[in-house]
Structure 1
Amino acid sequence: MKNINIRFWWLLLLEFLVAAFLLTCTTDVETVDYLDGICSSVSPLVGFTAQLNMLQHQVRGEIEVLDDCSFSVTKFDMVAGKDVRWWGAKGEDFQNMMNGFVISRMHLNQTLKNESMVVTLDDCTWDDFSVLGIWDIAFESDYGHVTLPISYIIGAPVAGLSPAVAPTLSPGLAFVPSPGKEVDEESVWGKEQPTMLDNCKELSDVYRLRWTLNIETGTVDLGLEAAIPYTHYMAFGWAKPESTSSFMLNADVAVAGFHNQTAPFVEDYHINKYSECSMTQDGPASVCPSSLYPRTHNDTSKTTNVKFIYGQWQDGVAFIRFRKGLQSSSRHLDVSVSTTSEMMIIWALGVMKEPDSLWPWYLPEKHTSFGHVKLNLSKALNECKGPLQAPNFDDSDLLTTEPGIAILVTVGPAIHNPNPPHPDEVIYFNKVESPVLKVERGVPVTFSIQAGHAVAFYISENPVGGEPEENTMIFAGGPHAHGVPASPYYLTWKPDRFTPDEVYYHSYFQKKMGWKIRVVDGGLNDMYNSTVYLADQKVRLYWMITEAGVSFAVKAVPKSGYVAIGFGKSMVHTFAYVGWLDGAVCKVGTYWIDGRDAASIHRTNETLTDVQCAQQNGILTFQFSRPLDPHCTSRQECQNIIDPSIPLKVVWALGTLWKPDHLTGSNMHSSKSSRYMSVHLTKGVAEPEQELRPVLAVHGFMMFMAWALLFPGGVLAALYLRHLENDGWFQIHLYAQYSGLAIMSLGVLFAVAETGEFRTGSLHAKLGLTSIGLACAQPLNAYFRSRKAAPGEQQSLHRVAWLFLHRYTGGAALFVGIITLWTGIFALSNEYSGDQMTGLDWALAGWLFCIFLLTVYLERSGFRNIKSGKESVFVKGKAIDQHTDSANLLRPKQAPFMSAALDDSQRYPAKRKEVQLQVL
């Protein structure tokens, strides 16, 4: 008994060790992908193959599970996306797909053209997901996927596994059979996707033929694929074997397209004339459906031998698959197709005519492109390298806004949503399911939101929607923007030139209910607040002041190779902005110009944002934004500061060729502005450079006459013309000063009358008022002039004070007046063109220099000491007898108390010793 117990315990221990070992091995297989570089292959999915269904971006490919941690992809086509990864999810429904995860570190951001690759699973196993797909991270969008078999997921055996799992249909135009036609589900849901066929031939750059030959059933599956709008048709067929030319006559043709732009169809047509279908006494004629032709007395076959299988319109590419019998007993309508020899095939693309009251059929109109080529169906062929891409395919789904008409925002079922996966209900615009909305910058858009209180409408840069993150830019709407039909919520949004080219509309409370808004440049008048034609009407300037600075747009009216504007009175000493066409690319550059040759044009590095440049029909337009203050100090462009309160002087130039790296004389402008334009940025107006107004010219001339001629002349007369008899110096001095005052007063009146107001804010006005006040004080001062002292008497205190005031206030008036002349010239130079004002400052300086030279000459020649034989004195305007004399008011070397009536012996006592008396 004891031995039996010992044996039992040993057996029990041995079973435990074996179970532990097996459990350890099993755990290692399930959780570890690689062990010493080798991956196990115990998963029942090893060897499983499936084809990717096409949801977006023209995805095609075949997937095979290689082992427990990798799979291969062959015949892989895909149009490039932004951030595309391999994706795993628990199921195909919306929530499971949104909650999926990245299963490989491989990126799929480039366009793939019939590629083959091996993908390794990272940090996951086949047990972690049941859907293997291609996922756009930024848009949270499914490009295509395969579903792993349910039998494997629930742990059942996987013998004879095949991917007979119904895939999600394309979000475009999904599987829709033609009315009254049976559908072979095995060909759709069996071992291949409806978009995948064995062979492919390029008929043109935008048209492809795909086919799979079914020898056993005597049929061929044909796939017509073309980058066309869904208002067009695709035609393909076989010509009569005996035809040597005009291959389309009596040809057996299938025409495929879309009913009501939604339901795909294919029809068998017969061609007996090159014109649209019509009914004659003998029956249908021209290009007509075969169903219209009557059967012959010995023909019991169907009049059509094509069967619709699948159709979609996705990413701007139409694809319709149908099945055609190789042999037909209707010899007068159909052509029997050989599987071993070459036959002539014909094809065409064109616009489909919609039914009307006379013709209840969709009829092809005259083709826009066509061709013929020989084809052997049994010969394997793959000329289609990569996915077929349609430029601007969103245009076919565009909903364009109209000014003044509100867009109705509602919700409805998701039928053909362009961005899978998606919730059951999505946003509708004007009863259209999630269209691409096209708006123009500067044009307000109004939304009438009637989607219910559970859908809060908003526009942002977030492509997914739902509650946005804190740093998400919201352009309009928000959690408050919801309404119902009884009480709509009206939301108005005006995109501007800073709005991105692509934004998105969504619900605030649910992800992926909306889609894209394409923002395009409207008229520049809508995008900018102000616009003017610059001088000579050849360049138009647009501008708008913003919080960040100022934005400009420049448009050349005539055709040109480049257009430039400069901030200044002329192109010399100007900060310039040039827009030019470099091949097919339009560019914008900034420059400092300090001369008139090509070597004087220097490239700068200004901080420009929102730079755009375009050429249409030879007309160049460029746009840019810049700060008002560059906020720098060390570079030349740091001085390019714009003060909106001061008119900005703008000039322009046009030319035929601009080479920024090798500027020569050939790059000089062919035309330029004849004058600058003063642009008032804050007022939104501009005025051209004006000719010097005559009244202001008269004002300046009068002030020159007064302050540079009459007033200085009167002073010089008082200093150096005292030798004139009968007080001639005093007469000249008096009349010169009074004439100067009169002319000065008239000049002031002319200036006030021209400007319409009496402005005192400028430095010129302030100095002018000061000089006028000092000048007008001189006649008042002269009126209170006191009598000078008699010979031998001392000058009175009143006389001394009067001399001091008269002398120094007069000198101060003359000094301030000349300074005022300078400020007047500078003020005119700032307001008018430099060409008109050139030389005025130098002319004034030359005149004053001549007065200075004259003064030096008179002083050195001793004119101040020359005396006349007879002098007189004036007191308060009355003449004094000849025994008194007038005071020398402006003689600085003579003391004010010295009498002018003293004789030489009194003035010069030293001469008394030389005087001798003689007897009469």
Structure 2
Amino acid sequence: MVASNWCPETSIKPDYSTRSFLPQTVARLTICYLLVLIMFQILILLLLALLNFHSTYGQHHASHYYGKYLGSLSPNSVHSVKGKVYAVNETAIFIEDFSYDGAGPDAYFWAGSSPSPDINGFIIPDSLGRYAVLKGYSNQNVLLNLPKGRTLQSIRWISIWCRSFTADFGHIKIPANFDPPKPINLGPIKGLAHGVSASAVIIMDAKTLFIKNLYYDGAAPDAFFLVGTGNKPHPRGQKVPDETNSLEKLHGYSGADIWLRLPRGLTVMDIDWFGLYCITYREDFGNVRVPKNLNVPPDYVFLESKVEPFMSCLTIFPGLMQISWEVRDQEIFFQLEGKVEPNQYLAFGLSGSSERPEMIGADVAVTFYDTLTSSVQVVDYTLKHKSQCAPQSYSGACPDDLTLGGRQDLIMISGNYLNGYLKSIYKRNIITGDPNADQDILPDEYATIVAAIGPVNSRRQAAYHNIKYTRANDLPIRIAFNKIPLNRNCSSLNTDNVISSSIRSPIKSRAWKQEKIRDTNILRAQIGPAGGDRGYTAITGLQSWGIAWWVNGKLIPEIVVQRGKNYTFIVEGGNDPSNQAQYHPLYITDNREGGGGQDPSMLDTPGHRVFAGVSFNRGVPDPNPGAGRYCEWKHRSGIDRANEVDSVEEYKETLRLDCKPGSPAIFTWTPDDKTPDVVYYQCYTHRNLGWKILVSSSFKLTYSLNLIAILISLLLLL
């Protein structure tokens, strides 16, 4: 029955006669066998693909890449030691699903350079930086950093070692000539337009790029950091937030060093290129290639999010803030984490009242990301009054060292801030010996806690907690720090989502006064910036590409010409078609936007007639008459100052003219009676670089026509 389900039905009724039954049966069985064989082969291929995907995915995808695999601690090891060990970089290791029963009296993470584990090793501090006897672990992730001065290249093994019994509970070996994950320099960005360049693009880890000495004039209408796959940049790439986590169009850079983080679900293993790209005009401003099979460190923030060094955790403000802790001997370790903006703080500590949340008299830790130093800070505070700190009177909400007789008793272990997620790990003594500013922690007794979220002021001190705080009439949150709860009352706050800047409503900028050129028949056209929010787009109502024609030193002037007169155009917009970003032949057309070279079949047709700058050879357009050397008005400071000045004249003072070697293109145009009253000087290769030419008749011609009209009228009256 099963086999018959695999076999195709046939419209031929079986003949059970002796003569035909056997051949028909053999044929049907042969078909069934072939189908089963084919499906079996497909199944094998699918399994192989799945195994290959799992291997690749497990090694490289953002959610599984832990570094370079070193080996596994055998599950048959003493004291149930097991786990997979990865090299994060030359000084750090990650152990996935680490287990150890904790029964060894003097066991440590241990490493050495001898051929195999022995007493001649050294202690690797635990995830909290402690040189403490190991407790029990049960399928927990562990992130370890070697002591200062030690590297993976200098050791030959990592062990779980008991010093009392000189016993190895399990170990892995470090291969000879081991090459640990490390940052990779992709080389410089050689810019193609808008002054883009960078001396180096460095992959710091699987999600982090460091751009060194970046230049970009900021003038393009929608330029972004972009990554993608394929042989070259294209508009289907994915936007990368800038150094402020914004996905708005890029601002200018002048020799800046910046850090970028790839968006959610993406690592450097998933991309083939990184660059600056203008999406509207499909222009690559400069890029670098990303090679395959990278040996780079994993995302350190991701690794830390996979490590839970504390068994105890409590949510303070759901979705916003939580606290984890562990008491070890006479010290207590805290992990305070939450969602805040830069220069906003998280505060947690002991209430000024044992019965209810009370800010006055509270002893708290305040942690925040300091944008001035680009570092996470944790500060010991005492709250004597509901007011700003007044150190001269030792009053208000003050750091302990600004109170009479107080001192800082919190020790920072680690901290990071990324995409709106702040995490600080710090410790303090249970009894600090600072009665002027600190409360003692009694781990076996319940303590009422206070917490808040608010801004820091210009002095980097906590200001009023105007975002969130525990209120006196709230149900008190009480913790006995030595009592481990049955379950961690927390969920992960850390996400890879980007804090997008608030989307600004489009505001129509007040345009600069339109410049005009008249009474001259020599017109020199060069490339320059489009003038920011008050320039090209505001003047014309057309979306700028970031550059525009400057004619006789004026930004997209209206040019007034007369029919029957000769006008000489001297064009310096580029003559190298291989560099499209600097190839802007000028031509005169009745098309408002230009860019005729993007669809040559439409040239010299109604709506896109050509009057000068392009010649035709058997119907094939040739833009060479309007293609000369490249001259560009560039920003003196390297950054577009258009939005900082009041007039186009002031704007020009921020620019300088830079010309490449070569000769300009020169052509002459004579408007005639067939020339429309309005035409446009535009770029052949790109839309929206130029503007209007107003065509009028000469005074003599106008006077003659008017005189003829008068005479005709008089004759009709007679």
Above 0.5 in TM-score? Answer: no
**TM-score normalised according to structure 1 size:** 0.26
Could you say which structure has the larger radius of gyration? 1
Greater relative CO, 1 or 2 (CA 8 Å, sep 6+): 2
More helix by share: 1
